[in-house]
A and B are shown apart, each in its own frame.
Chain A
Amino acid sequence: MAGAGKWFGVPRWMVVAVGVAVLLAYGTFGRSVEQPAPVSAQVRTIVDGLRTTSVYEAPGAPGKIDAARARQLIGDRPIVLVLLGTEPLPPSDDEFTQPGQDLCEQIAAVVTTSLVIVYAIEKDGRYGPSYCVGPEFSNPQNPVDAGNYDFQLIARAEVAWQYRVTEADLFPQVEEFVFAFDEQAAQDYPNGVPRRAPVIPPPPTPDTLQTWQIILSLAGILVGTIALFVALRLVGRLVVRRGARDAETRHRSEATSARLNKLADRILHPPAPKDAADARRQADLAGEYVLVLGEFEAATTPAGLAGVNERLDELEEAAT
């Protein structure tokens, strides 16, 4: 039974349980699943700033665009304007993409039904705009050719603003973009221009590090539970074994005590001595008995009691 129920020296049920656990863990965490792209902390901050207004102005923005005027101008059109500071943006993964454009597309992935304008310091050190169209700007409720709001719109606006902007005032860029949007929207939306949709904050998504932390946590819980179980089982067995040993020692002590009592009766009531030597032998026996009694009272271990019993064997034989 013990040999038949084991694989590699481990009970079969345990091997099967571990195999099932590994398969479940792989099915849960091991396979790749489609999940939303992680949102960076910068994008999360910007999107939070756009929840109640169409313009987000970062601390340290150079002030080349009047945010209050831009907010008033854009109103509830499906356009969001992001005015970043003068800190250079981190380079994008694609070397042919400007950092501002990359950030713009990340923001558009969250505010999906809006057009996005991002002002930031580009690679050449210029504070300028990047434009992009939200991936759901054209949607079943408001079907439209999104291409009309990309390059064409920017080109039309650029023609209009080129003689209006100065190095210190870039507000006409925004203004002409909005006017160009209105012109195009009037053609594309005969039943009314769509309004800006409320911004829904992106859900937190676990990254790879967090996934491994979850796996390690689950493994830790599993191993900890098994360790606790094994430790408690060992402690339990130790307690039971010690209890059994104590009971055995106690029983041996009782049996020895019964033998001592019996011997005491013989020593306290010896037969009349035949001669002086016999009397001396009885006295010696009584003395030995007292010594054994002392050993018995001092004996607390099975080995000590075994020694007392050996002495008792000798005394009982001598007393017969």
Chain B
Amino acid sequence: MIWVWVGIAVALVGAGALVPVLAGRDKRLSSNDEAVAARSRYHQLGHYVEDVEHLDDAQAAALMRTARERYHTAGATLARATSEEDFLLAMRVAEEGLSAVSEAYRRIGRTGPRIKKRKRHN
């Protein structure tokens, strides 16, 4: 019986020591805003690059190719993202792709995505 009380006491001391420290571990993901924004940008970019038609303008085609590369990279980063910084990185990569799409569309006289100036976290 005494060992039960000893075990309970050790558990309480351990909880008192570890909980305040370990509870602060996930503060990096306290908000889901970055994840939502990054996925939004990623899917927006996918809308432009998943079914690309043949473009006669070589520079526009090269820009669309770059946008596709950014799309795949953003997807890979999103798949492994666990922190706020990871999601911001994925969003930045997706925005680079959207910039390329916007430039390509401008060259062929279409209205492309509008890139809002965002306040960067890093």
Task: Give the chain A neighbours of B24 by CB distance below 8 A.
Answer: 240
Q: Does B16 have its Cβ within 8 Å of any Cβ on chain A?
A: yes
Q: Does A239 have its Cβ within 8 Å of any Cβ on chain B?
A: yes
Q: Which residue of A lies closest to B19 (CB)?
A: A236
Q: Does B18 have its Cβ within 8 Å of any Cβ on chain A?
A: yes
Tally of chain A residues near chain B (CB < 8 A): 24
Residues of A254-293 contacting chain B, CB below 8 A: 254-255, 257-258, 261-262, 264-265, 269
Interface centre among A225, A228, A264, A265 (most CB of B within 10 A): A265
Q: Describe A's contact surface by its main secondary structure.
A: helix
Task: Give the chain B neighbours of A250 by CB distance below 8 A.
Answer: 80, 82-83, 86
Q: Which residue of A lies closest to B96 (CB)?
A: A262
Say yes or no: B21 contacts A257, CB within 8 Å.
no
Say yes or no: A262 contacts B73, CB within 8 Å.
yes
Kindly state the separation between the CA atoms of A243 and B24 in the bound complex, as whole angstroms. 12
Q: Does A156 have its Cβ within 8 Å of any Cβ on chain B?
A: no
Say yes or no: A261 contacts B69, CB within 8 Å.
yes
Q: Does A159 have its Cβ within 8 Å of any Cβ on chain B?
A: no
Kindly state the separation between the CA atoms of A235 and B14 in the bound complex, as whole angstroms. 11
Task: Give the chain A neighbours of B83 by CB distance below 8 A.
Answer: 247, 250-251
- Whether A258 touches B77, Cβ cut-off 8 Å, given contacts A236-B17, A247-B28, A269-B62, is yes
Q: Does A6 have its Cβ within 8 Å of any Cβ on chain B?
A: no
Q: Does B98 have its Cβ within 8 Å of any Cβ on chain A?
A: no
Kindly state the separation between the CA atoms of A255 and B82 in the bound complex, as whole angstroms. 13
Contacts A240-B24, A257-B73, A261-B69 known; 15 new A-B pairs at CB < 8 A? A229-B17, A232-B13, A233-B17, A236-B21, A236-B22, A240-B22, A250-B80, A251-B83, A251-B86, A254-B77, A254-B89, A261-B72, A262-B66, A264-B69, A269-B62
The 10 closest A-B pairs by CB, nearest first: A236-B21, A232-B17, A265-B69, A233-B17, A261-B73, A236-B18, A251-B85, A229-B17, A258-B73, A258-B93
Interface on A for B, CB 8 Å cutoff?
Answer: 225, 228-230, 232-233, 235-237, 239-240, 243, 247, 250-251, 254-255, 257-258, 261-262, 264-265, 269
Interface on B for A, CB 8 Å cutoff?
Answer: 9-10, 13-14, 16-18, 21-22, 24-25, 28, 62, 65-66, 69-70, 72-73, 76-77, 80-83, 85-86, 89, 93, 96
A-B contact pairs, 14 of them (CB 8 A): A232-B13, A232-B18, A235-B18, A236-B21, A237-B21, A247-B83, A250-B80, A250-B82, A254-B77, A254-B81, A262-B66, A262-B96, A265-B69, A269-B62
